């Protein structure tokens, strides 16, 4: 019907989002990379579903846009300040991915310390038979002191999973949490000085960009390990590569990179890193749950004028 809302999908998104939205809305899909909306359709569009990125140039083309539903908890690719100024609500997908991302973080931590992916490659290449036992991993999780950079929804789940590993846990956030007993540090440098393992799970913001630099890495020390599952921009990759090459830290495990999908060639050449292609939440069940939350935010908006999970910058009562 003519009263059906039009939803814009600029670029690729999880197929379940498209399938469920198509049952209720008219959809306008753009090729990945295109930011031109047909002029006859643009004024009809009142909602958008995006996978991490909403191109700024779309705002002026969409005078009646009211809601942007983002697939993903991180929404650094959505210009939320502009949205807020224009009275457009932005939603993300918090909580439904906490367990998956925390599980993956533990796997990446163990892979990094114990070199398990390299050990499996060794077996598959026939080297166990030809050369004998895989070399001992120089590092172990035993006895480590882990610093969590960002103790939010996901950071808390990472900490909860670390407890049975009998490691010591400390953390840094801008404000201390009243509901945990882990040692708090009011600066990242202070945290890095006191721990030997740093797990970063902070959003991409002006403050976090480049915050894990040479000084922080040096503070972790020569047995230091960095695990980054938040955003690649948090780490100064040149400083990280230099620190790994010089042995100023011992190893790194990365799920995220500054310029995805491009990974610096120097990282690929280092034996003491474990690298994943941004897969922390990437299981079929968790991605289905994220897809459902995108759709449910849009349904809730167009049926009740409220959303389930607005971002902090565009608060709209649920
Ligand atoms: P939350 O908002 O719940 O937690 C963010 C945490 O970071 C809070 O503890 C916050 O505490 C802290 N923080 C924010 N800014 C700073 C700062 N400048 N210095 C120190 N600490 C800071 O977010 P989630 O846990 O849900 O998600 C965190 C991020 O993880 C997402 O934004 C996303 O970018 C990333 N992510 C990556 C995934 C992947 O696939 N690799 C999957 C899911 C998420 P305070 O405000 O007190 O500083």
User: Any catalytic annotation for residue 260?
Assistant: yes
User: CB of 311 closer than 6 A to ligand 1?
Assistant: no
User: CB of 229 closer than 6 A to ligand 1?
Assistant: yes
Q: Name the token pair of 136.
A: 């001992």
* Cα–Cα dist 237/259, whole Å: 10
- Ligand 1 centre from 5 Cα, in Å? 33
**Who's near 157: CB < 8 A, 6+ residues apart?**
98, 99, 101, 102
Across-strand partners of 177? none
For ligand 1, mutation pick of 76, 106, 148, 201 (most atoms within 8 Å of CB): 201
**pLDDT at res. 102:** 99
What is the full DSSP assignment across the chain?
-TTSPEEEEES---HHHHHHHHTTSEEEEE-TT--PPPTTTGGGEEEEEESSB--GGGGGG-TT--EEEESSS--TBS-HHHHHHTT-EEE---STTHHHHHHHHHHHHHHHHHTHHHHHHHHHTTHHHHH-SPPPPS--STT-EEEEE--SHHHHHHHHHHGGGT-EEEEE-SS--TT--SEEESSHHHHHHH-SEEEE-----TTTTT-B-HHHHHHH-TT-EEEE-S-GGGB-HHHHHHHHHHTSS-EEEES--TBTTB--HHHHH-TTEEE-SS-TT-SHHHHHHHHHHHHHHHHHHHHHS--SSB-TTS----
User: Any catalytic annotation for residue 231?
Assistant: yes
- Ligand 1 centre from 203 Cα, in Å? 4
**pLDDT at res. 231:** 98
**pLDDT at res. 32:** 86
Catalytic, out of 231, 237, 248, 287: 231
Longest dimension (CA), the chain: 71
**pLDDT at res. 4:** 85
User: CB of 52 closer than 6 A to ligand 1?
Assistant: no
**Who's near 166: CB < 8 A, 6+ residues apart?**
142
**pLDDT at res. 214:** 98
User: CB of 178 closer than 6 A to ligand 1?
Assistant: no
- Ligand 1 centre from 154 Cα, in Å? 7
> pTM higher than 0.95 for the full model?
yes
Take atom 20 of ligand 1 and give the residue whose Cα is closest: 173
User: CB of 219 closer than 6 A to ligand 1?
Assistant: no
Q: Which atom of ligand 1 is nearest to the CA of 231?
A: 34
**pLDDT at res. 1:** 47
- Ligand 1 centre from 152 Cα, in Å? 6
ipTM exceeding the 0.95 mark = yes
The pLDDT tens digits along the chain (318 residues) read: 446 899 999 999 999 999 999 999 999 999 988 999 999 999 999 999 999 999 999 999 999 999 999 999 999 999 999 999 999 999 999 999 999 999 999 999 999 999 999 999 999 999 999 999 999 999 999 999 999 999 999 999 999 999 999 999 999 999 999 999 999 999 999 999 999 999 999 999 999 999 999 999 999 999 999 999 999 999 999 999 999 999 999 999 999 999 999 999 999 999 999 999 999 999 999 999 999 999 999 999 999 999 999 999 998 755
* Cα–Cα dist 159/210, whole Å: 24
**pLDDT at res. 318:** 56
- Ligand 1 centre from 168 Cα, in Å? 21
User: CB of 203 closer than 6 A to ligand 1?
Assistant: yes
* Cα–Cα dist 276/169, whole Å: 24
User: CB of 157 closer than 6 A to ligand 1?
Assistant: no
- Ligand 1 centre from 2 Cα, in Å? 41
Catalytic, out of 31, 120, 163, 260: 260
**pLDDT at res. 317:** 56
What is the full DSSP assignment across 114-182?
HTHHHHHHHHHTTHHHHH-SPPPPS--STT-EEEEE--SHHHHHHHHHHGGGT-EEEEE-SS--TT--S
């Amino acid at each position: 019907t003519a009263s059906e809302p039009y939803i814009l999908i600029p670029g690729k998104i999880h197929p379940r989002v498209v399938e469920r939205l198509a049952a209720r809305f008219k959809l306008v899909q753009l090729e990945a990379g295109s930011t031109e909306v047909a002029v006859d359709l643009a004024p009809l569009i009142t909602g958008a579903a995006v996978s991490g990125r909403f191109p700024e140039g779309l705002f002026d083309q969409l005078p009646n846009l009211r809601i942007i539903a983002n697939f993903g908890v991180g929404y650094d690719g959505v210009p939320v300040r502009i949205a807020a100024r224009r009275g457009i609500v932005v939603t993300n997908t918090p909580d439904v991915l906490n367990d998956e991302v925390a599980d993956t973080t533990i796997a990446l931590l163990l892979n990094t310390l114990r070199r398990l992916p390299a050990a499996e490659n060794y077996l598959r290449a026939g080297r166990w038979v030809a050369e004998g036992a895989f070399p001992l991993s120089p590092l172990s999780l035993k006895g480590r002191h882990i610093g969590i950079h960002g103790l939010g929804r996901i950071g808390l789940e990472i900490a909860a999973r670390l407890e049975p590993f009998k490691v010591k846990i400390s953390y840094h956030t801008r404000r201390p949490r009243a509901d945990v007993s882990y040692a708090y540090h009011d600066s990242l440098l202070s945290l890095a000085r006191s721990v030997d393992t740093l797990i970063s799970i902070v959003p991409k913001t002006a403050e976090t960009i480049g915050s894990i630099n040479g000084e922080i890495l040096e503070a972790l020390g020569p047995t230091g390990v960095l695990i980054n599952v938040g955003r690649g921009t948090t780490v100064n990759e040149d400083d990280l590569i230099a620190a790994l090459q010089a042995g100023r830290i011992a190893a790194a495990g990365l799920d995220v990179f500054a310029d995805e999908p491009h990974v610096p060639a120097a990282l690929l050449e280092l034996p003491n890193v474990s690298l994943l292609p941004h897969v922390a939440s990437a299981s079929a069940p968790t991605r289905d749950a994220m897809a459902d939350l995108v759709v449910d935010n849009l349904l809730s908006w167009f049926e009740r004028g409220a959303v389930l999970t607005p971002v902090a910058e565009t608060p709209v009562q649920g």
